[in-house]
Amino acid sequence: MALRLIFLLTFASSLIQMKMKKFLFFIILVAAVVGAVVTCPDKKAHKEALADAFAEYASYKIDESKDNGFGDILNQGLNALRKAGADKVMEATLGAFLEVDNYYVCSVGSIKRDGEKKLISIGLFGHVFTPTSSMIDNALNRQKGSKEEEPAIVSEPL
């Protein structure tokens, strides 16, 4: 009889522990979702992050051109432009073309081009993830390469 009672108590205790683990997992999951909803970045955050990413890209390209001896001069000019408000101009330009879709737990920034949306940023937990300078450079080089490869229109002889 005592053995049966011990078995039942052990079984009940393990059942309660399993339910507590599930309940704790559920509470943590709900807290994470609520945290994501509360900290979801808005359009302003996307514009600021993208303006910083493009300014970093400009510095990246200037650092690349230091071999020409103009890198330091260009970097000083870029810093002067940033102080003069070029960042605000970049944010205003992005504001005109940037669309931010809010999915409550995350937000997605995209630019509409040629009738289709191009993903450019993702916002999650108060941070906006943007492309790196090398990713921007690769995308621009691919775009430049595809434009150069387009065949020219040639009229047929009569």
40-53 per-position pLDDT tens digit: 999 999 998 998 88
Considering the domain boundaries, does residue 6 fall inside one? no
Please answer whether residues 29 and 65 qualify as being in contact, where contact means their C-beta atoms are separated by less than 8 angstroms. Answer: no
Burial letters 59-88, b for 16+ CB under 10 A, else e = bebbeeeeeeeebeebbeebeeebeeebbe
Number of domains the chain is built from: 1
Q: Is residue 50 part of a domain?
A: yes
Residue 81 lies in a domain: yes
pLDDT of residue 155: 44
Question: How far lies 125's CA from each of 27, 33, 100, in Å?
Answer: 18, 10, 15
Residue bearing the bigger pLDDT, 157 or 23: 23
**Considering the domain boundaries, does residue 66 fall inside one?**
yes
pTM assigned to the model: 0.69
Residue 45 CB coordination number (10 Å): 18
Domain limits at 75? Answer: 39-138
Q: Is residue 7 part of a domain?
A: no
State mean pLDDT over 49-63: 82
Q: Which amino acid is at 105?
A: V
23 in a structural domain: no
Examine residue 29 and state whether it is found in any structural domain, yes or no. Answer: no
Is 62 part of a structural domain of the chain? yes
Residue 65 confidence class, pLDDT cut points 50, 70, 90: low
* DSSP 8-state class, residue 155: P
More confident residue, 120 or 74: 120
